[in-house]
Amino acid sequence: WLVQAEAPPHQLSKFKSLLASGGLSVADVAFYFVHWLTDLGGAEGTPLSGAEKFVVKFPHAVLNSFIRSFPVVQQLATLTETELMERFLVEWWPDAHGPTPSGPEAV
């Protein structure tokens, strides 16, 4: 969801509270996302064809963006949910759109 910028930063609150309480480490957050990725890849069992869902049916740009977001999500240990989302949007702002919006009109 971070890659598509569809959800509010609040969606990261459970991770943030677990990190703050010591009940979760940064490595655990990374493991969760890798587990989610492998779960998605195995959603359609095709033992003879391997990871067919990723190779044929899943948009490579979305998969690459998801994997690239792992280091960003790990910053949740030191940033608030909103700071993380803002940093993500600024870092991933496409060059084709021009400079990152700033000032009172910026989101």
Decide if 26 is inside a domain: no
Residue with tokens 């998605």: 40
**Is 18 exposed, middle or buried (CB count within 10 Å of its CB: 0-12, 13-18, 19+)?**
middle
Query: Is 47 part of a structural domain of the chain?
Result: yes
Is the pLDDT at 17 greater than 80? The verdict is: yes
Domain annotation covers residue 17: no
pTM here is 0.65
Averaged confidence pLDDT in the chain: 78
Domain, as residue range, for 45:
34-93
Phi, psi of 76 (to 5 degrees): -60, -20
Task: Examine residue 20 and state whether it is found in any structural domain, yes or no.
Answer: no
Residue 93: per-residue pLDDT: 80
Q: Is the pLDDT of residue 31 over 80?
A: yes
> According to the model, what pLDDT value does residue 47 have?
64
Segment 16-39 shows an average pLDDT of 83
The stretch 75-84 carries a mean pLDDT of 87
Question: How far is 12 from 81, CA to CA, in rounded Å?
Answer: 6
Inform me whether the pLDDT recorded for 50 exceeds 80.
Answer: no
Convert the pLDDT of each residue in 32-48 to its tens digit.
888 888 777 777 766 66
What token pair was written down for 70?
């792992």
Would 73 be classed as within a structural domain? yes
Quote the number of domains for the chain.
1
